[in-house]
Structure 1
Amino acid sequence: MSTLKHFIEGLPKAELHLHIEGSLEPEQMFLFAQRNKIDLPYKSVEDIRAAYEFTELQDFLDIYYQGMGVLQTEQDFYDLTWAYLEKVHAQNVIHVEIFFDPQGHTDRGIPFSTVINGIYNALIEGEKTLGISFKLIMSFLRHLSEEEGFKTLEEALPHKDKIAAVGLDSSELGHPPSKFERLYARCREEGFLSVAHAGEEGPPEYVIEALDLLKVDRLDHGNRSLEDSDLTARLSQSGIALTVCPLSNFKLAGVTDMRRHPIKTMLDKGLKATVNSDDPAYFGGYMNENYLAISEALNLSKEDLITLCRNGFEATFCTPEQRRQHLDQLENYLST
């Protein structure tokens, strides 16, 4: 496994499913709270780390939104994003497409511009000094109303040049994609690409809604698609990419045994699966840890890993030229 570990560590990678607020490490939460004079219900970094132990999505979301509260200033958002970029740079990630949740901040009175400028400026610096290209995806919180989503879209339009796509996250069950059909139609009119979380907790029908009603360009998670053979065949034939997050699936008990993780089945059935970390500070690992977890549990071959990695680059929202450059880096690595 040490040889395979070395191979994984060296692979140039793209990450397409990363919530920047989910990269908030316990040390950062404690630091930002002190910096902004915010009282936390934790006395130490160790207490926060213990709170990061949970068994289901709602428990995770509770601590996730609590953690957001320490993010107050443009510098906080810059520092959070920069810390993530440094971590993934060390793991040979050369392209990132990251989500941010503006409603989780504007609802607390933090201006939209504070959030996006801090994140975007760090991404620009990362591209310049670390060589990590990027796209930024604005997510709507599905437990909120579509009307609130429209308000957030209006706040976003002055920053349209910074945002490549829109997404849909938070509690899936009870909040089907159809709830946001009008909002996504408006986003398409504004020229945004789109993605949506579907088929993580929710049934295959949510995936079908994301495809047919939201008309997404890429599908986030999508694990439960495999429960519907017709949907599985459709996904294979369409070539739409799935941004799969193995350690997240395990930590939230969507998958109770990594040896039964569906990503190998996805590959076998011709689905364009990719590997991502989701909320790495909370789920126990960034990109390399996710690749290692599935390679060990599923006995993946180098060819499987290369396919997953290549899928990641092919599924980006980059220009064809950028995509070709990234794939060339992968091929160069494989030929050495």
Structure 2
Amino acid sequence: MPNPDRAALIDRLPKAELHLHIEGSLEPELLFALAARNAVAIPFASVEEVRAAYDFSNLQDFLDIYYQGMAVLQTEQDFFDLTWAYLQRAAADNVRHVEIFFDPQGHTARGVAFETVLDGIERGLIAGQRELGITFRLIMCFLRHLSEEDAFSALEQAMPHLDRIHGVGLDSSELGHPPAKFARVFAKARALGLHVTAHAGEEGPPEYVREALDLLKVERIDHGNRALEDPALVRRIAAEGMTLTVCPLSNLKLCVIDEIAQSPVRQMLDLGLMVTINSDDPAYFGGYVGANYHAVADALDLSADQIVRLAQNSFTGSFLSAAEKALHLERIVDAVNG
């Protein structure tokens, strides 16, 4: 049930967002504006028609329309506008640090230069840091429905820009594309000094989570819901302090859960897991990070201490330095006491 005190606490807590696909923040209004700017035909007559299409039964349904929407992103300014629009919404939710994913293969395959994508997103992130006070890390994802060879090509394209890219991830269609498929390219990324994370255990089985840990040697798991099916795996994740970037409204929209009260967030907290709250692809899933916090807090009747722990976890699980994490954690204490 809604609780005014709980809602106020959520709103004033500083937060980090660790699981956000920047292409998934493409709101229908911006999609239409960019389609007009770039003379790109789209199969929708109105914003309302786009929103009606955002009715998915599984991950693949979503991905089909997600890649379709990407077609309007063509210029550096498009990627800047996309990033800036997201950061303004993040700032409204008191997000102070973001670690965002981008999918270069989804753009280079359309003839958009890697540098065009990177330059526009980075310019937006730098503007967000300067004007909104939101720090950032940028994570390049490999599309798992494509080959590892294709992932190696994407990494090669990134090589001249590694001072601007902080990590690599693994996203897109999970079932049938286990983490083991990308073991070699992740080894190379680690050798280059990049942070590593991967989607695992959203629709894929617990074994995918184990592979991400053992073969990709990830620093955190994106989603991780199905790890709960394996008690030994849960104990390991807890013992290693592995961060899980859970996305409640995404899970609901993609029918990973039937209702928000089935979100695994509270169970993960009770098990001592380093769970965080994130929005995934908020334009498609109906809410940015604040909405995700409010939804699970109300549906699971989370206590103030649990909500604070989620905010703390978001910084602790980030790729920030120890000193930067400590500063944000102090600000959480100030927000609680204030």
Q: TM-score, normalised by structure 2?
A: 0.98
Cα displacement (A) at 1:2: 2.1
AA partner of residue 262 (structure 1): P
Corresponding position of 1:162: 164
1:209-220 matched pairs, under 5 angstroms: 209-220=211-222
Corresponding position of 1:143: 145
Corresponding position of 2:99: 97
Cα displacement (A) at 1:258: 1.6
- State the alpha-carbon separation in 2 of the partners of residues 32 and 327 from structure 1: 39
- State the alpha-carbon separation in 2 of the partners of residues 290 and 120 from structure 1: 26
Corresponding position of 2:32: 30
Cα displacement (A) at 1:257: 2.0
Corresponding position of 1:56: 58
- State the alpha-carbon separation in 2 of the partners of residues 307 and 110 from structure 1: 41
1:283-302 matched pairs, under 5 angstroms: 283-302=285-304
AA partner of residue 272 (structure 1): M
Q: SS of the residue aligned with 1:161?
A: coil
Q: Does the 8 A contact of 2:238 with 2:271 survive in 1?
A: yes
- State the alpha-carbon separation in 2 of the partners of residues 271 and 5 from structure 1: 23
Deviation sequence 1:89-120 (CA, Å, 0-9, x none): 01100000000000000000000000001000
Corresponding position of 1:16: 18
Q: Does 1:47 align with 2:62?
A: no
Q: TM-score, normalised by structure 1?
A: 0.99
Cα displacement (A) at 1:249: 0.5
Q: SS of the residue aligned with 2:146?
A: coil
Q: Does the 8 A contact of 2:9 with 2:336 survive in 1?
A: no
Cα displacement (A) at 1:324: 1.3
Deviation sequence 1:201-231 (CA, Å, 0-9, x none): 0000000000000000111000000000000
AA partner of residue 98 (structure 2): V
Corresponding position of 1:80: 82
Which residue among 195, 198, 201 is the counterpart of 1:199? 201
Corresponding position of 1:313: 315
AA partner of residue 269 (structure 1): L
- State the alpha-carbon separation in 2 of the partners of residues 299 and 35 from structure 1: 45
- State the alpha-carbon separation in 2 of the partners of residues 99 and 258 from structure 1: 24
Corresponding position of 1:267: 269
Corresponding position of 1:240: 242
Which residue among 317, 333, 336 is the counterpart of 2:335? 333
Corresponding position of 1:257: 259
- State the alpha-carbon separation in 1 of the partners of residues 62 and 130 from structure 2: 34
- State the alpha-carbon separation in 2 of the partners of residues 327 and 124 from structure 1: 23
Corresponding position of 1:124: 126
Cα displacement (A) at 1:52: 1.5
- State the alpha-carbon separation in 1 of the partners of residues 5 and 308 from structure 2: 15
Structure 2 residues without counterparts, runs of 5 or longer: none
* Count of equivalent residues: 336
> RMSD in angstroms over aligned alpha carbons?
0.7
Q: SS of the residue aligned with 1:282?
A: helix
Corresponding position of 1:230: 232
Q: Does the 8 A contact of 2:142 with 2:171 survive in 1?
A: yes
Q: SS of the residue aligned with 1:266?
A: helix
- State the alpha-carbon separation in 2 of the partners of residues 260 and 57 from structure 1: 18
- State the alpha-carbon separation in 2 of the partners of residues 333 and 72 from structure 1: 41
Cα displacement (A) at 1:327: 1.1
Corresponding position of 2:180: 178
Corresponding position of 1:65: 67
Cα displacement (A) at 1:88: 0.7
- State the alpha-carbon separation in 2 of the partners of residues 221 and 176 from structure 1: 15
- State the alpha-carbon separation in 2 of the partners of residues 84 and 53 from structure 1: 22
Structure 1 residues without counterparts, runs of 5 or longer: none
AA partner of residue 35 (structure 1): R
AA partner of residue 250 (structure 2): S
Which residue among 136, 146, 152 is the counterpart of 1:134? 136
AA partner of residue 201 (structure 2): G
Deviation sequence 1:266-320 (CA, Å, 0-9, x none): 1111110000000000001001100011011111101110111100110110111
